[in-house]
Amino acid sequence: MKPTDRHAAAPTPTGMKAALRRNIRTMDEWRAQGEARATFGERLAGAITRFAGSMWSVYAHTAVFGAWALVNFGLVPGVPRFDPTFVLLATIASVEGIYLTTFVLISQNRMQAAADRRSDLDLHVDLLAEHELSRLIALTGEVARKLGVEPGNDPEFAEISKDIRPEAVLDELEKHREE
């Protein structure tokens, strides 16, 4: 199967296209707002981190360190050795590492904050869906009873038709982790 065949095999239902477009537009706007709220320092840290994590950074470092080594090994005629013990290069590389680590941490903190917001949204949507499903199950049970179809004494039906309180789930998770 070709990669294009895989995408063509799953057409989007007509009614879903508008909802999908709206959701994609909403997510794009949400990301753009997050970028707009970023401070200059956060944007700078992101740009530096993106460059440092690219092949261009590898090429630049290879060129600079390679030239430094060639000059300081005395392999470039007419250019005096200025760091024959490479102490200056080691110091510069160490300071660069300190700053780069800080920029990466700033970027990671920002990405974690965005991930936390997405996680909160996911939880909120999940809780809304849980509530709606519980209401639909209860309504389906009422319709079944009016039609003379009894769900019987199925304890699972009674359980899934109840709303779940998020704090009860969190308490249960905490209790399980403590055990």
Q: For the chain, how far is it from start to end, CA to CA, in angstroms?
A: 48
Average confidence (pLDDT) over 156-168: 77
Global pTM reads 0.66
Q: Has residue 157 been placed in a domain?
A: yes
| More reliable by pLDDT, 136 or 14 | 136
More confident residue, 134 or 46: 46
Domain span at residue 91 reads: 38-178
Q: Residue 84 in contact with residue 72, Cβ under 8 Å?
A: yes
Domain presence at residue 3: no
Out of 41-45, 104-108, 139-143, which region has the weakest mean confidence (pLDDT)? 139-143
Cβ distance 45 to 107 under 8 Å?
A: yes
* Domain assignment present for 136: yes
Convert the pLDDT of each residue in 146-159 to its tens digit. 888 876 667 777 77
- In a domain, residue 24? The reply is no
Assigned domain for 115 exists: yes
Domain count, the chain: 1
**pLDDT at residue 11, as a whole number:** 62
Q: Is 164 a domain residue?
A: yes
Q: Tell me whether residue 18 is in a domain.
A: no
Instruction: Determine the distance from the C-alpha atom of residue 150 to the mean position of all C-alpha atoms in its chain, rounded to a whole number.
Output: 46
Q: What is the pLDDT of residues 9-45, one digit of tens each?
A: 566 566 678 878 888 898 889 889 888 999 999 999 9
pLDDT digits (tens, 9 = 90+) for 113-130: 989 988 988 888 888 888
Within a domain: 21:
no
Query: What is the Cα–Cα distance from 168 to 175, expressed in whole angstroms?
Result: 10
